[in-house]
Amino acid sequence: MDVVHVAPQEVEFTFNGPIGTFDQRQLQRGLQVYKEVCSNCHSLSHVAFRDLKDIGYDDGQVKKFAADWAAKQPSFDEKAGTWGERTNLPSDHFPKVYYPGQGSPPDLSLIT
């Protein structure tokens, strides 16, 4: 009988197990994947841009990352009584993703 399937090899990762660890490059790659793929549908509304310093970014990089983020922060102009948008600051949380009239996908800051 010919073998059609070869079993995968066991691989050990640093993040395996209850006390696994991640290195900063892994976390930064994860942020890049979130930014390029997941952020179209999923929010990180409980994470502030300044939290990116925990994964190796400096203050200037965090400020630029926040300012360059595609979704802006909603802001209310009290004088005009209208809503608008402003550039993100490091102290802001990632903007929420809204789907009017539909249930929104899970917020990944609550899952991870």
97 against 38, higher pLDDT? 38
DSSP summary character for residue 46:
T
pLDDT, mean of residues 81-103: 87
> In sequence order, which residues have a C-beta less than 8 Å from that of residue 92 and are 6 or more positions away?
48, 49, 66, 73
Per-residue pLDDT reduced to its tens digit, 20-67: 888 899 999 999 999 999 998 889 989 999 999 999 999 999 999 999
Domains within the chain, CATH numbers bracketed: 24-111 (1.10.760.10)
> Rounded CA gap, 17 and 43, in Å?
27
pTM equals: 0.77
